[in-house]
Amino acid sequence: MSQLIPAPLRAIYHNRLAFAGLLIVVGMFLMAALAPVLGGDPGAIDIANQLLPPSFQHPLGTDDLGRDVLTRMMFAARISLLVGFVAVGISTLIGICLGAVAGYYGKRIDALIMRFVDLMLCFPSFFLILAVIAFLDPSIWNIMIIIGLTSWMGVARLVRAEFLSLRERDFVLAARAIGARDSRIIFRHILPNAMAPVLVSATLGVAGAILTESALSFLGIGVQPPTPSWGNMLIAGKQTLGFAWWLSVFPGLAILVTVLGYNLLGEGVRDALDPRMRGAQRDNAG
Give the rounded percent of residues in the chain with a pLDDT score beyond 70: 92
Residue 115: predicted pLDDT: 93
109 — pLDDT class (breaks 50, 70, 90): very high
Amino acid present at 106? G
Residue 275: predicted pLDDT: 54
Is the model more confident about 81 or about 10?
Answer: 81
Count of other CB atoms within 10 angstroms of residue 215: 17
Does the structure show a pLDDT above 50 at 282?
A: no
Q: Classify burial at 228, counting beta carbons within 10 Å of its beta carbon; exposed 0-12, middle 13-18, buried 19 or more.
A: buried
8 — pLDDT class (breaks 50, 70, 90): low
Is the model more confident about 150 or about 124?
Answer: 150
Q: Give the CA dihedral 142, 144, 146, 151, nearest 10 degrees.
A: 180
- Sequence length of the chain is 286
Residue 1: predicted pLDDT: 44
Alpha helices in the chain (DSSP H): 7-14, 16-33, 35-38, 69-105, 107-121, 125-133, 140-149, 153-166, 170-177, 182-184, 195-218, 230-236, 246-273, 275-285
Helical packing angle, 69-105 and 107-121, nearest 10°: 150
Does the structure show a pLDDT above 70 at 204?
A: yes
Task: Say if residues 126 and 63 touch (Cβ distance below 8 Å).
Answer: no
Cα 246–Cα 250–Cα 253 angle in degrees, nearest 5: 145
Does the structure show a pLDDT above 80 at 147?
A: yes
Helical packing angle, 140-149 and 195-218, nearest 10°: 130
Q: pLDDT tens-digit profile of 46-101?
A: 888 888 899 998 899 999 889 999 999 999 999 988 999 999 999 999 999 999 99
Residue 71: predicted pLDDT: 92
Does the structure show a pLDDT above 70 at 285?
A: no
Is the model more confident about 248 or about 11?
Answer: 248
CATH class (in words) of the domain with range 2-285: mainly alpha
Task: Say if residues 248 and 241 touch (Cβ distance below 8 Å).
Answer: yes
Residue 219: predicted pLDDT: 84
Residue 114: predicted pLDDT: 94
Task: Say if residues 75 and 42 touch (Cβ distance below 8 Å).
Answer: yes
Residue 279: predicted pLDDT: 47
CA-based nearest residue to 249, from 69, 40, 34, 74:
69
Residue 129: predicted pLDDT: 82
Q: Classify burial at 124, counting beta carbons within 10 Å of its beta carbon; exposed 0-12, middle 13-18, buried 19 or more.
A: exposed
pTM, to two decimals = 0.85
Does the structure show a pLDDT above 50 at 182?
A: yes
